[in-house]
Chain A
Amino acid sequence: MASKVIHAIYTDDDILLQAVKQVRAGRYHIAEIYTPFPVHGLDKAMGLEPTRLAITSFLYGLVGLAVAIVMMNYMMIEDWPQDIGGKPSFSFLSNLPAFVPIIFELTVFFAAHLMVITFYMRSKLWPFKEAENPDVRTTDDHFLMEIDVEDHDVNQLSKFLYDTGALEINLIDNK
């Protein structure tokens, strides 16, 4: 089913923010916004849910913590007991200070890398992926708002968008 979208192009992030508020107040549905740089407060203006990435990061950190503890215990205590710092106690707890830096680093490593990978997966990004942005100017100095036409009147919607400060309005057929 072919759906129609309107691409409205803005050249200023403040005007864009204002426009987003007006469009939402006008009960139109914003499908996506393409910007050349992160616009502060845009997510709140668009009414996007707060990210859950932080929670996954915390969980990955816990995984890293556990992996590091198990790993150090296996390597240094069980499989090949080491005399650490001239203290041959061969117990995990007594040697804990020596392991803390590794545990810390692995916690950070797991949290950071897995968080980035999660972010890529959620945003459907992978190497050699074709760019999705509809207009190359959005990588330079233009802001593009994509609005679902749904069953609104196209002319009325265009007029509305023009009033919000859009410089260019295109009707696009999605196949």
Chain B
Amino acid sequence: MIVGAIGLIYAFVAAPSTIEEVKEMMADDTSHGSSDMGIVDQDVEFANPDHAEGDHILVDDHDNEHYEHLLHQLQNKPWAALYIAAFFFFMIALGTLVFYALQYAAQAGWSPVLFRVMEGITAYLLPGSIIIFIILVLSGLHLNHLFIWMDPEVVAHDKIIQNKSGYLNVPFFLIRALIYLGGWNLFRYLLRRNSLRIDEDSKDNKWFKQNFKLSAGFLVFFIVTESMMSWDWIMSLDPHWFSTLFGWYVLSSMIVSAITVIALVSIYLKSRGYLEYVNDSHIHDLAKFMFGFSIFWTYLWFSQFMLIWYSNIPEEVTYFVTRIEDYGLPFFGMVVMNFVFPILLLMNSDYKRVNLFVVMAGIIVLLGHYLDIFVMVMPATVGESWFIGIPEISAMLLFGGLFVFVVFNALTKVPLLQKGNPFIKESKHFHY
């Protein structure tokens, strides 16, 4: 059976890898994008030393300072696009790991047939972490200006950031990032190792119990670090602004995207005939989670918005003022995509069992949550000069391609059924 599974799985590597190639081709645009950016960079460097001479093109019409501001924004744009896409896919892998750990910790009986799919998706955690960390280090080295609190000149003129500099400083920031990423990857590595050992010998379910404990530990570690991660990596883009439920908000986005990807990958593999034990009850359950967490996301989105709207404190409310004035379409568009669309489509119990509806809702939800990250990151980094153009789309395709490649590659490595799991029989017969 193992040989059969490996043989079968090898067959579909061909399919995603061609998609991958297409995506790589598209992704080449990114490198063009970054070389463009390099040119802009140089422009700025030319512009900066000799302020008096200013810039050559539009200088007559524009205030020098404004032009420089705009240049900074445009210069940030490819970086921000890269960062959003990198974070988006990293977040999916991380969310899947959380969902996976939840299944162990809850000793869920329905899901073990999907464990290998989830493990496959979490395989992207390591490359994703490395990429994120590199981007953060580059920010720390002032190669980009995503995080304005990293710029000593800004801090010098900003009392609020000065007061926060005990927490928001580059070395501590990077150390924290290392702790989060290292911890998550360590847990991922151990869970995966034990999961493979469950298949080999399951005497007294030793490794299963081990994974149960590990998962519980991971969830505790995760909920603390995830919260801090979202402050560090996203909330600190607006260093004056803060929201106490921001960690939850990012978590909800993370979980719903992850579950959606699990559902999409499962449906894809099922349609290719690999997951013989996955029936529509499993898809139904995943769709229930998609539905539930979409509502959870909306709840947090609205809670965050309403409190700030109501109290109307200037330093808090600017966050939403920029988003509504400059980002009206994505800001409200994502509510439609992440709430109205899934709630209407997935409300019906029967629709949750129809792959077509789940896939449709899934694609919209994923795009919606991309927009969510977009609206979190972009206003702070590029201000009003946002646009979903070549850098954004190609960055998405680049990381999307990498994600698909890593995930499906990982799926080919082992049989797609964790046969030593004590709940596997229940899961195979799962029927709603």
Contacts and interface: CB of A to CB of B under 8 A. Distances in A.
B302 A85 contact: no
Contacts of A98: 306, 310
Given A54-B349, A58-B347, A100 B312 contact: no
B309 interface: yes
B305 interface: yes
Given A54-B349, A58-B347, A86 B306 contact: no
Chain A, interface SS category:
helix
B345 to A, nearest CB: 13
Interface residues of A, number: 9
A85 B347 contact: no
A85 B312 contact: yes
B310 A100 contact: no
A39 B302 CA distance: 40
A100 B349 contact: no
A100 B302 contact: yes
A87 B306 contact: no
B349 A87 contact: no
A97 B347 contact: no
A165 B306 CA distance: 61
Contacts of B306: 97-98, 100-101
A95 to B, nearest CB: 10
B304 to A, nearest CB: 11
Interface in A62-98: 85-87, 97-98
Contacts of B309: 85, 97
Contacts of A87: 312
Interface string A91-129: 000000110110000000000000000000000000000
A85 B310 contact: yes
A86 B349 CA distance: 43
Nearest to B347: A58
A79 B312 CA distance: 26
Nearest to B431: A41
A54 B348 CA distance: 9
Nearest to B350: A50
Interface in A42-59: 54, 58
Contacts of B349: 54
Interface string B338-369: 00000000010100000000000000000000
Contacts of B302: 97, 100
Given A97-B305, A100-B306, A86 B347 contact: no
A86 B312 CA distance: 8
Contacts of A85: 309-312
A58 B305 CA distance: 27
Interface in B292-321: 302, 305-306, 309-312
A10 B371 CA distance: 58
Contacts of B312: 85-87
Interface string B217-251: 00000000000000000000000000000000000
Contacts of B305: 97
A100 B310 CA distance: 12
A100 B339 CA distance: 14
Interface string B270-312: 0000000000000000000000000000000010011001111
A171 B349 CA distance: 41
A100 B349 CA distance: 26
18 contacts: A54-B349, A58-B347, A85-B309, A85-B310, A85-B311, A85-B312, A86-B312, A87-B312, A97-B302, A97-B305, A97-B306, A97-B309, A97-B310, A98-B306, A98-B310, A100-B302, A100-B306, A101-B306
Given A85-B310, A85-B312, A98-B306, 15 more contacts: A54-B349, A58-B347, A85-B309, A85-B311, A86-B312, A87-B312, A97-B302, A97-B305, A97-B306, A97-B309, A97-B310, A98-B310, A100-B302, A100-B306, A101-B306
Those 10 A-B pairs whose CB atoms lie nearest each other, nearest first: A97-B306, A85-B310, A97-B309, A86-B312, A85-B312, A100-B302, A97-B305, A98-B310, A100-B306, A87-B312
Interface of B: 302, 305-306, 309-312, 347, 349
